[in-house]
């Protein structure tokens, strides 16, 4: 029997080392359907980095690919210091911008469409911080619109994560907490988790956060939203085709 593989492509939210991972949740949800779920997440990756490693994803010849990228591109646009840090850390040829992100994502989608038979979905990035009226919130709207536009142009599916998390923040009356500058919260979160053995959910609650542990990386609720969106997509595509066969 041919193995059916779902590949989740992304950054640290897909890798799952700095917060609650959605890939294990998704694997558990899809286990009864004899599907293999693979995480292809690299910490700190921008869209340019994913494009550079797209050959390895194509080589897996997956049944479905879900691309969740953009958090680091977006974060880089919030300040010159962020952009410099990202260029240096990830050896980027140029600082990330909304335009470059959209071009890279379009190239990723084009390669996947041309060189695989996979069902392909592009997911909007998660909300950064907990203030949808902030600069990070407005950038999230722009990056999500870019993802949706690329998905439409390449006739692939669009999974609206940003929109779902935005509505959850509104409906849950979560405290308004803007994304802090720098990376202090990220590193202190990891230290508390690894040294003090605190859960990422507990760390997030202590900060008043309802979807993340550190304003960027997901808690159990945030990860579940991603897993649910992908699970529904897999049922509509890979599993629906199997039922028709």
What number is the average pLDDT over the span 228-240? 97
CA distance 31 to 35: 6
Asked if residue 35 has pLDDT above 70, the reply is yes
Task: Give residue 221's pLDDT.
Answer: 98
Task: Give residue 141's pLDDT.
Answer: 98
CA distance 105 to 110: 9
CA distance 132 to 175: 11
Distances in Å between the Cα of 206 and the Cα atoms of 128, 165, 209 are 17, 20, 8
pLDDT in tens, 157-211: 999 999 999 999 999 999 999 999 988 999 999 999 999 999 999 999 999 999 9
Q: Give the chain's mean pLDDT.
A: 96
Asked if residue 25 has pLDDT above 80, the reply is yes
Task: Give residue 245's pLDDT.
Answer: 59
Task: Give residue 48's pLDDT.
Answer: 98
Q: What pTM was computed for the model?
A: 0.97
pLDDT in tens, 50-98: 999 999 999 999 999 999 999 999 999 999 999 999 999 999 999 999 9
pLDDT in tens, 111-163: 999 999 999 999 999 999 999 999 999 999 999 999 999 999 999 999 999 99
Inter-residue contact 46 to 108 (CB < 8 Å): no
Q: How far is CA 212 from the centre of its chain?
A: 13
């Amino acid at each position: 029997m041919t193995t059916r593989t779902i590949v989740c492509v992304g950054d640290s939210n897909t890798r799952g080392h700095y917060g609650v991972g959605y890939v294990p949740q998704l694997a558990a949800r899809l286990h009864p359907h004899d599907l293999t779920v693979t995480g292809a997440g690299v910490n700190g990756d921008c869209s340019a980095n994913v494009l550079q490693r797209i050959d390895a994803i194509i080589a897996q010849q997956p049944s479905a690919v879900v691309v969740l990228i953009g958090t680091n591109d977006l974060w880089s646009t919030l300040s010159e210091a962020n952009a410099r840090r990202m260029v240096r850390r990830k050896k980027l040829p140029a600082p990330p911008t909304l335009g470059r992100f959209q071009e890279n994502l379009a190239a990723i989608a084009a390669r996947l469409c041309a060189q695989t038979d996979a069902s392909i979905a592009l997911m909007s990035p998660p909300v950064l911080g907990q203030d949808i009226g902030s600069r990070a919130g407005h950038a999230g709207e722009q990056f999500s619109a870019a993802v949706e536009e690329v998905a439409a142009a390449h006739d692939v599916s669009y999974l609206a994560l940003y929109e779902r998390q935005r509505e959850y923040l509104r409906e849950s009356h979560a405290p308004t907490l803007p994304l802090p500058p720098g990376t202090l919260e990220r590193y202190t979160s990891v230290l508390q988790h690894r040294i003090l053995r605190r859960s990422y959910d507990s760390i997030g609650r202590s900060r008043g956060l309802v979807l993340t542990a550190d304003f960027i990386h997901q808690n159990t609720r945030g990860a579940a939203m991603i897993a649910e969106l992908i699970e529904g997509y897999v049922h509509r595509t890979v599993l629906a085709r199997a039922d028709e066969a």
